[in-house]
A and B are shown apart, each in its own frame.
Chain A
Amino acid sequence: MDFNDTAEENNFRLEVREWLEKNAPKDKKIGGYDSIDVEESALERAREWQAKKADAGYAAITWPKEYGGLGASSIHSVIYSQEEAKYNVPSGIYDIGLGMCIPTMMAWATKEQNERYVEPALYGKEIWCQLFSEPSAGSDVAGVRTKAEKDGDDWLINGQKVWTSGAHFCDFGIIVVRTDPKAPKHKGLSFFFLDMKSPGIDIKPIRQISGGSNFNEVFFTDVKVSDNQRLGEVGEGWKVALTTLMNERLAIGVPKSADYSSLTQLAKNVILNNKPAIKNDLVRSKIADWYVQSEGLKYTKMRSLTSLSKGETPGPESSIGKIVSAPKMQDLASFAMDLQGAAGILNDPDIALMHSIFQNQWMSAAGYRIAGGTDEILRNIVAERVLGLPQDIRVDKTVPFNELPSGR
C-alpha cells in the first residue's frame, strides 16, 4: 500500500512539471470566476492559458487524439490537475463546456459539427454553457416546460432556464426542451445546441442569498434554432441529457473550504467557559468528527485513484463525496460561528475573526447542498444505483405531461 506513482505516471508528472514551469504564468493569483463580473481582461487571460494547454495536449487529456486530446487515461488527467493546482492559473471558465457540453456533442453531433465546434472550445475561443434547470424543474429536471415548436425547418424556443453558469459570456449552449407536451414527461423532450447570441435570448444575473451572483436566468422569446442543431431524435432528448448528466458528476465538486484545521486554529484563539475553546471536550469531539469525515473523503479519493491507476472504473464509493462534504461545510461553519459568541454574527472580513471565512462558508454551503444534486437526491442515487433498492413510485411516468398537476 502506498500513494506513489507508477514509473510511467511519474514520467508523465515530471513532463507536466517541466511544461508548467516553462509555461505557467508566475504572477499573482489570477483566479477563476467566482462572480458574475468576469472582466474581459480576465476572460482574455483564461483564453490565452487555455490555448497554451490545448497546444500541448493538456486541455483535454482523456479525449481522443483526433479531437485534440492526449488519448491518455483519467489518472493522467488527475496528475495534470494536481500539478497545475500549484500555480495561479485561470480556472473554472471552461469546466462546464469541456466537462459536459462538448462530451455531449462528441457523442451526439455529426462529424462536421464536431469538426466545427470541438477545436474552438478546446482552445478556449468559444465558451459553452448548459441550459437544463428551470424554475419548476430542479431535482426533477425532466420536468422542463421551456418548449420548442416546429416552424418550417426550424424550431422556435420559448420559456425560461435558470441557474445557468456563465450564460452572459458564453458563445454556445446545450438545451433540453419540451417538444411534445402530450407525451409523458420523459418522452416529450428534445435536445439542441444553440448560439447564445441568437435574437430573443435575454440573460439576467441571479442574486444569491450570499449577495454574490454566480448564475443567470435565461429567457427565450421565439428563439429560432435550426433543426440540424438537434442532438438525437425528436422526443429522445432525455437520452441525450443523460450523457450530459453522467458527465456532471465528474465536472461538479465542492470547493476547498474551511475544514477541521481552520476550526482548530479558531478554537485555539477564542475563549469558552474561561479557557481556550480547544480545551473544551465538545469542541474536541466535533473537531475529531470532522477530521474523520475529511480524512475519510481524502482516502476514499485515493481508493478511486488507485482504480484509475490500474485502468479500472472507480467503485461506487466515489459517490459519497458531496453528500458528506456539503453538509460538513455548513455544520462546521455554523459551529465555528457559535464559538465566536455574539460576534459570530459579524460578516465584515475586516473585523470578523479569520476574515469571516466561516460566515461566508455558512452562506455558500446552503447552496452547495443543492447544486448538482441535493443531499436527498444523492441519497436516492446511492440507494438505487449502489445498493440496488427500488425506485420510488413515479406517479408521472405514464401520464401526458400537460395533464400533470403542477402546483405553483
Chain B
Amino acid sequence: MNFDFSEDQKLLKEQVARYLSDNCPIEVVRGVLEGDDYYSSSVWKGLVDLGLTGATIPEEYGGLGLGPLELCVIAGELGRVSAPVPFSSSVYMATESLKLFGTDQQKEKWLPKLASGEIIATFALSESAIEPNPNNIKCSFSSGKLNGIKMPVPDGSYADLCITVVNDQKGGADKIKMAIVPLDGVGVNKKSLKTLDQTRDHAELIFDNVDAELMNNSDDGWNDVQHIFDIAAILMAFEQIGGAEASLSMAKEYALNRFAFGRQIGSYQAIKHKLADMYIKIELAKSNSYFGAMMLNDDGADLKIAAAASRVAATDAFNYASQENIQTHGGIGFTWEADTQFYYRRSQVLGLALGSIASWKDKLVTQLEEKNIS
C-alpha cells in the first residue's frame, strides 16, 4: 500500500511552499486586487525560474519532464497562498492541451516558450452564461481564420496564446476542434471583465478573422475538451484543497485568539463543530483527489469518475471553508482590510472555471451507470 506522494514530491512541495511564503505573502495578492496589474509578474517569474511552468513539459522541449503528481503538489501550494498568477490557465489547461493534441510542429514551436516563461497561454471554451455543449459552440474556424467571441477567458487580457475550442463549420460529429490562436495578431479584441476576483484576470476575446491553426484532435474533439477538463479538475482540486486548508487555518487562529462572553470563541461547540466540518470536507476532498492524482498518473480507466469526484468534493470543501472562515471571524471578516476575502473570491474562480457542479455530478453518475453496465 503506497497511496501517498513520494519523498521527492514532498520535497518539491516544501520547496514551492518556501518560495511562495517568502515571495507571495498575502500583501502581494492584495496588491493585485487593489492595483492595475493583471497578475503578479514577479511571483510568476519566480515560478518560471524554478522551472515550474515547464514541470510536465518533456525535457526535449526544455521542460523538467516531471509527471502529473508533481503538478498536484505545486497546485496545492499555489492554492494555499491564493497566488495571483495564470498557472491554471497556462499550465493545467493550455500546456496539457498542447502536449496531448498539438502537432509535432506546434509542440516544437510553443512548448519551449511555455517552459521558459517567454509566453503565457490560456484555454477558452465558454462563450456566454449558457453552458457550452458540442452543438452550441459558435466560435468558428474555417480556412485558417477564426471568428467569434469567447468569454470569460481566464487571464485573457494578457495571455499571449489561446487554445480555443471552435466549430469547424462542417457540421459532422467531429466538428468540435481546438485551435491555437496567438493573441497579438490582427483582429483580436480584448476587453477585461469585472469579476468577483480581480486577483485573477478574466477577459472577453472577440476574434475577427484572426489567423489560427487547428490542433491534432481525435475524431471526437468534444471528448478531447472533456479530457482536458478532467485533468484540470484534478489539478484544480489540489489548488482548492490548499485554499481550503488556508481558510481553516485562518479560522482556527482567529477562534483561538478572539474572546467573547469571557472565553475563546473556539471553546464554543458551535464554532468547534463548524471547524470540524471544514476539516472533514477537506479530508474527503483530499482522499478523492489522491485517487484522482493516481488515475492521472496511471492514465487509469477510472480517470473520468475520479475527476468528477475530486471536482465535487474539492469545490464543496473550498466553498464551505472560505465562507465559514468569514463567518467565524464575524464582522471583521467582512471588511476590506481582512484577508478572508481572497479565499472567498478565489473559491468561486476555481469552483466555476470548469462548469457547474450540477453538470459534474451528472457526469459522475453517468460514469457510474456505464461502469455498472460493463
Show the binding face of A for B, using Cβ within 8 Å: 1-6, 9, 75, 260-261, 264, 278, 281, 284-285, 287-289, 291-293, 295-300, 302-303, 305-306, 308-309, 317, 320, 323-324, 376, 379-380, 382-384, 386-393
- Among B163-171, B330-338, B364-372, the one that faces the other chain is B364-372
Shortest C-beta distance, B58 to chain A (Å), equals: 21
- Among B132-140, B198-206, B261-269, the one that faces the other chain is B261-269
Report whether B291 and A295 are in contact in the complex, using a CB–CB cutoff of 8 Å: yes
Cross-interface CB contact of A299 among B272, B277, B288, B316, cutoff 8 Å: B288
Report whether B2 and A306 are in contact in the complex, using a CB–CB cutoff of 8 Å: yes
Beta-carbon nearest neighbor of A293 in chain B: B284
CB-CB < 8 A to B267: which residues of A?
389-393
Report whether B294 and A379 are in contact in the complex, using a CB–CB cutoff of 8 Å: no
CA distance in complex: A387, B283 (Å): 13
Shortest C-beta distance, B20 to chain A (Å), equals: 23
CA distance in complex: A295, B364 (Å): 12
Cross-interface CB contact of A2 among B2, B271, B283, cutoff 8 Å: B2
- Residues of B in contact with A, size category: 35 or more
Of the candidates B266, B272, B297, the one having the most CB atoms from chain A within 10 angstroms of its own CB is B272
CB-CB < 8 A to B273: which residues of A?
376, 379-380, 383
Known contacts: A389-B256, A390-B264. The answer to whether A281 contacts B4 by CB under 8 A is: no
CA distance in complex: A264, B360 (Å): 17
Shortest C-beta distance, B234 to chain A (Å), equals: 13
**Contacting residues of chain B (29-86) with chain A, CB-CB under 8 angstroms:** 69
Known contacts: A376-B269, A383-B273, A391-B267. The answer to whether A1 contacts B297 by CB under 8 A is: yes
Report whether A303 and B266 are in contact in the complex, using a CB–CB cutoff of 8 Å: no
CA distance in complex: A293, B285 (Å): 9
Contacts A292-B312, A299-B287 known; list 6 others, CB within 8 Å. Answer: A1-B297, A3-B1, A292-B284, A295-B291, A299-B288, A382-B279
Beta-carbon nearest neighbor of B289 in chain A: A299
CA distance in complex: A287, B312 (Å): 12
CB-CB < 8 A to A3: which residues of B?
1-3
CB-CB < 8 A to B263: which residues of A?
390, 393
Report whether A379 and B297 are in contact in the complex, using a CB–CB cutoff of 8 Å: no
CB-CB < 8 A to A387: which residues of B?
248, 252, 272, 275-276, 279
CB-CB < 8 A to A300: which residues of B?
283-284, 286-287
B352 within 8 A of A: no
Report whether B3 and A382 are in contact in the complex, using a CB–CB cutoff of 8 Å: no
B255 within 8 A of A: yes
Of the candidates A75, A288, A317, A386, the one having the most CB atoms from chain B within 10 angstroms of its own CB is A288
Cross-interface CB contact of B266 among A9, A288, A292, A390, cutoff 8 Å: A390
Show the binding face of B for A, using Cβ within 8 Å: 1-5, 69, 248, 252, 255-256, 263-264, 266-269, 271-273, 275-277, 279-280, 283-288, 290-291, 293-294, 297, 308-309, 312-313, 316, 358, 360-362, 364-365, 368-369, 372
Shortest C-beta distance, B320 to chain A (Å), equals: 13
Report whether B276 and A291 are in contact in the complex, using a CB–CB cutoff of 8 Å: no
Known contacts: A376-B269, A388-B252. The answer to whether A1 contacts B3 by CB under 8 A is: yes
Return the 7 tightest CB-CB contacts between A and B, nearest first.
A296-B284, A383-B272, A288-B361, A299-B287, A382-B276, A302-B3, A379-B276
CA distance in complex: A166, B300 (Å): 46
Q: What are 30 A-B residue pairs whose CB atoms fall within 8 Å in the complex?
A: A1-B4, A1-B297, A3-B1, A75-B1, A264-B372, A284-B361, A284-B362, A288-B308, A288-B362, A292-B313, A292-B316, A295-B309, A297-B284, A297-B287, A299-B288, A300-B286, A300-B287, A306-B3, A308-B1, A324-B280, A376-B273, A383-B275, A386-B276, A387-B248, A387-B279, A388-B256, A389-B272, A390-B264, A392-B267, A393-B263
Report whether A296 and B287 are in contact in the complex, using a CB–CB cutoff of 8 Å: yes
CB-CB < 8 A to B297: which residues of A?
1
Shortest C-beta distance, B36 to chain A (Å), equals: 39
CA distance in complex: A309, B255 (Å): 36
Shortest C-beta distance, B171 to chain A (Å), equals: 29
CA distance in complex: A400, B248 (Å): 39
CA distance in complex: A309, B3 (Å): 10
Report whether A292 and B4 are in contact in the complex, using a CB–CB cutoff of 8 Å: no
Known contacts: A281-B358, A288-B312. The answer to whether A2 contacts B3 by CB under 8 A is: yes
Beta-carbon nearest neighbor of A324 in chain B: B280
Report whether B313 and A1 are in contact in the complex, using a CB–CB cutoff of 8 Å: no
CB-CB < 8 A to A309: which residues of B?
1-2
Shortest C-beta distance, B99 to chain A (Å), equals: 21
CA distance in complex: A11, B264 (Å): 53
Report whether A303 and B4 are in contact in the complex, using a CB–CB cutoff of 8 Å: yes
Of the candidates A9, A260, A296, the one having the most CB atoms from chain B within 10 angstroms of its own CB is A296
Beta-carbon nearest neighbor of B72 in chain A: A1
Beta-carbon nearest neighbor of B69 in chain A: A1
Cross-interface CB contact of A1 among B293, B316, B364, cutoff 8 Å: B293
Beta-carbon nearest neighbor of B251 in chain A: A387
Report whether B1 and A4 are in contact in the complex, using a CB–CB cutoff of 8 Å: yes
Report whether B3 and A303 are in contact in the complex, using a CB–CB cutoff of 8 Å: yes
Shortest C-beta distance, A218 to chain B (Å), equals: 32
